[in-house]
Amino acid sequence: MLSNFHSLQYGTFGFRFKGAHQQRIVGIYSIGWEKPISAAPYDWDGLTRSEKDIIIFQYTLKGVGKIRIKDSTYRLESGDAFFVKVPSDHRYYLPSDSNEWEFIHITLFGEEAIKCYEEIIKDAGHILKLDLYSNTISTILEILKKVSTNKLNDAYEASSFAYLFLMEIQRHVLNIKTDEEWPDSISNAISFIKNNYANPITLDDIVDASGLSKYHFTRLFHKTIHSTPIQYLTNTRINKSIDLLKDNKLTINEIALIVGFSNGNYFGKVFRSSLGLSPGEYRNSKSFIAVDHFIGDQSLPKHTFVF
């Protein structure tokens, strides 16, 4: 990956945009690519720095560094990253037994940045292991590339990149992988739902298709799909109904039966719970942006697509 950024040079870029709103959002304070060597001291103490209310992410490319966080000390090698707040009780440095420590870093500020940081630290701690080709590291390198070519001079664009960076870390922490292959048992259950959603199938039917016990299956399904099997079945039916609602020759009750609901009344309640309006309102209203595909969790509050 680094070969794609051969034009980048060592150094740190600082951002100082004006506006009181800057402290409320996620902003970039600095970003850089550094390579301290043993001939020059490199030592930062989180309790003695002049900066306040910033968060620092630093990712090791080559060499070895160390960080002490309270009473624990960590050796940082290729692929290791740390995430800390200033001020806090930490110290990161080039140890005496290391000749170099090459890394990229990004420092953020703002109330929203602090909130995201605290959530991430609560779930994953201060030390993260990341692949060089991960979206998180790619985002930092893309920002560096833009900055080094003088193409990032706007506070709003800088903030959008900062948000993206934080979201990619959270994606990593939650282990959400968009290209992750599903276990065979989950794939079998999904195929069963897609082929039989029009029938009055139950959770037991879906479990039987998976080949697992109900307890194991429901836990694995939620971990993999991030919803329950019944929620997934319901969303599948709603998506099919959205397409059928474009055909004015079909009644609401007919559509309900076609997609697997027992009757039009129940279908209407579920549809409203999902999209915030009835099937008839969806079909006839011109005051909202019509969606062609619904993505949602039935356990979460729903919002009407009205603009």
pLDDT in tens, 125-172: 999 999 998 889 999 999 998 888 887 777 788 889 999 999 999 888
Same domain, 274 and 142: no
Q: What average pLDDT score do residues 4-19 get?
A: 71
CA-to-CA dists, residue 101 to 13, 31, 62, 211, angstroms: 19, 16, 6, 50
Give domain status of residue 306, yes or no: no
- Output the pLDDT for position 175: 63
244, 255 contact by CB (below 8 A): yes
Domain limits for position 17 = 2-173
What pLDDT band is residue 281 in, cutting at 50, 70 and 90?
confident
H/E element, 74: strand 72-76
Rounded distance between C-alpha atoms, residue 161 and residue 153, angstroms: 12
Give domain status of residue 34, yes or no: yes
- Output the pLDDT for position 10: 82
Least confident piece of the model among 56-60, 90-94, 129-133, 300-304: 300-304
pLDDT in tens, 185-243: 998 999 999 999 999 999 999 999 999 999 999 999 998 887 899 999 999 999 899 88
CATH number reported for the structural domain that contains residue 92 in this entry: 2.60.120.280
- Output the pLDDT for position 3: 52
Range 141-163 burial, b when 16+ CB lie within 10 A, else e: bbbbebbbeeebeebeebbebbb
Same domain, 37 and 148: yes
Same domain, 91 and 126: yes
Give domain status of residue 18, yes or no: yes
- Write down which residue in 173, 197, 231 finishes a domain: 173
Tokens of 38: 């043993």
Same domain, 232 and 165: no
Same domain, 165 and 226: no
Q: What is the pLDDT of the chain when averaged over all its residues? A: 85
- Output the pLDDT for position 177: 45
- Output the pLDDT for position 227: 86
- Helix locations, the chain, DSSP H: 111-124, 135-148, 155-173, 184-196, 203-210, 214-225, 229-244, 252-258, 264-275, 279-284
Give domain status of residue 295, yes or no: no
Tally of structural domains, the chain: 2
Give domain status of residue 41, yes or no: yes
